[in-house]
Amino acid sequence: MKKARLAVGYGSICGGCDVAFTDVGTELVDLAELVDIVYWPAVVDGKIEQLKKISDIDIGIYFGAVRTEHHELVLRLLDEKSKILVAFGTCPCYGGIPALGNVETSDSLLQTAYSEAPNTTNDGIPGLRKLKRQTMEVPRLKAFISAPSDLVNFDVFVPGCPPPVQSVSKLIDLIRDYSAGDPIPEMHFIAEETSVCDFCKREKPEVISIDRIMRIHEVEFNEDECFLSQGILCMGPVTRAGCGEEPRCIQKNMPCRGCFGPLPKVRDQGTKFLSSIASSIVLGKEKNMSDEDLQHLVKKQVLDPVGQFYRFALAVAAFNRRYTGD
Amino acid sequence: MSFRPRITAFLCQWCGSKGADMAGTSRMKYPSTVTPIRVPCTGRIDLTHVLDALTKSDGVLIGGCYTPSNCHYKHGNYQALKRVELLKVFLKQMGVNPDRVRLEWIRASEGKKFAETIRSFTEQLEKLGPLKTQEEAMPE
């Protein structure tokens, strides 16, 4: 059997996906037998010239979101040279955590990072142009962060922040099948097609009415009852399942944060949750208070809708970047 | 040519759209900036619809029955009220003026109020101008 050629490219990453990859343990040995790693900055070589030279990549894996022009270059090169392109982690699928930077403009992000932060004594701000020093070059920041899935067509998606061990095993199985000559299904998601709630074993009431939204430390909650009915925001209803037999955060008594992204056929995870949570607030008791009180109550309870509901999928939402001049 | 805003109006079938009909049958004049969409109830309007409309037009008007407590389906208007309130918090965070989404209670008989609303909303949007992203506002 001919060994497949594997390349891994990086966008804007935290490094968690590399760690998640190695979490599979001994299966990594199988992977080493299945593929030749031709490019992977953390493992073999990470120069961009190297990637430009390589041709005939069988499996290209992309980590992270597109923040700079360099990230886009890596993505385009991988897309051009690979037969199968895999989006590994939530960032290439939906933009992930880095996309939260879109609530500010790139200019103001640089301003804060290089001059306004309390521990910085830097006068100059790099600005949005390309920086060049002798032979070295600092890539330019793009105007906003985009999800790689909006820029190129991926064949396989592995959502999760980071993807759980079983997803990585499934990906390795997929690579094995591919090396054996099996075709890969189009737009294949290594995740379930239903929501987290379908897999959650907590007791769920028929109607969810929230009197006051609480933070997890503010309440002594019942470990067998739905988080939402107890007033704790849980992204389960709008999030794709697949993080385990029992959802991994909920199993550990933490509400779902929504890292597997929107459900199939839904693009805008945050807006869906915004709609559903708004209707759950004091549901059925609205007539007991005046309209102004109701409006005030809703506004007071949810302070940061972007950070809470669009945490992992802001880049693919309808309103995905900062608007100015309004 | 001066900027002419486009308004998408989601009107409930019992009052909002009847109000628009009334404005038409009474031959009232109002700007031709509005594209009405009839929905069963304001409670049926998902925020996805509103945001989608806002990416393609300059303002969104939601017209429901009389007062929130007088919804034809009892609770629909309250859902709209709460959703729009929350949406405005979100829009503010993304740098969009929350006034671009407007919620009005228009009775079936209030053709005049419908025309008046469209007129004032159009004026307001003319002052705001088109919705611009960062890179559109500052071309390189």
Residue A169 has pLDDT above 90, yes or no: yes
Q: Is B18 helix (H, G, I), strand (E, B) or coil?
A: helix
Give the torsion through C-alpha atoms of B66, B70, B72, B75, to 10 deg. Answer: 120
Domain B7-137 in CATH 3.40.50: yes
Alpha-carbon distance B84 to B97, whole Å?
A: 13
Segment A234-242 mean pLDDT: 93
Residue A162: asked if its preceding bond is cis (omega within 30°), the reply is yes
B28 contact A CB<8A? no
Residues of B in contact with A288 (CB under 8 A): none
Contact indicator for A277, A247 with CB cutoff of 8 Å: no
pLDDT value of residue A123: 64
Q: Could you report the per-residue pLDDT of A116-148, keeping only the tens digit for each?
A: 888 877 666 766 666 777 888 888 888 899 999
What is the pTM assigned to this prediction? 0.90
Question: Looking at the domain covering A4-98+141-189, what would its CATH class be?
Answer: alpha beta
pLDDT value of residue A36: 92
Q: Could you report the per-residue pLDDT of B81-93, keeping only the tens digit for each?
A: 999 999 999 999 9
**Domain edges within chain A:** 4-98+141-189, 196-309
Closest residue, chain B, to A297 (C-alpha): B82
B131 contact A CB<8A? yes
Query: Going residue by residue through chain B (140 aa), what tens digit of pLDDT does each one get?
Result: 688 999 999 999 999 999 999 999 999 999 999 999 999 999 999 999 999 999 989 999 999 988 888 888 888 999 999 999 999 999 999 999 999 999 999 999 999 999 999 999 999 999 998 887 766 666 54
Closest residue, chain A, to B69 (C-alpha): A287
Question: Are the Cβ atoms of A275 and B47 closer than 8 angstroms?
Answer: yes
Q: Is B30 helix (H, G, I), strand (E, B) or coil?
A: coil
B86 contact A CB<8A? yes
ipTM of the complex: 0.89
Contact indicator for A57, A38 with CB cutoff of 8 Å: yes
Q: How confident is the model at residue A190 (pLDDT cuts 50, 70, 90)?
A: very high
Question: Are the Cβ atoms of A326 and B75 closer than 8 angstroms?
Answer: no
Mutate to test the interface with B, among A107, A265, A279 (most CBs of B within 10 A): A279
Mutate to test the interface with A, among B90, B91, B125 (most CBs of A within 10 A): B90
The whole-angstrom distance between B49's CA and the closest CA on chain A is 10
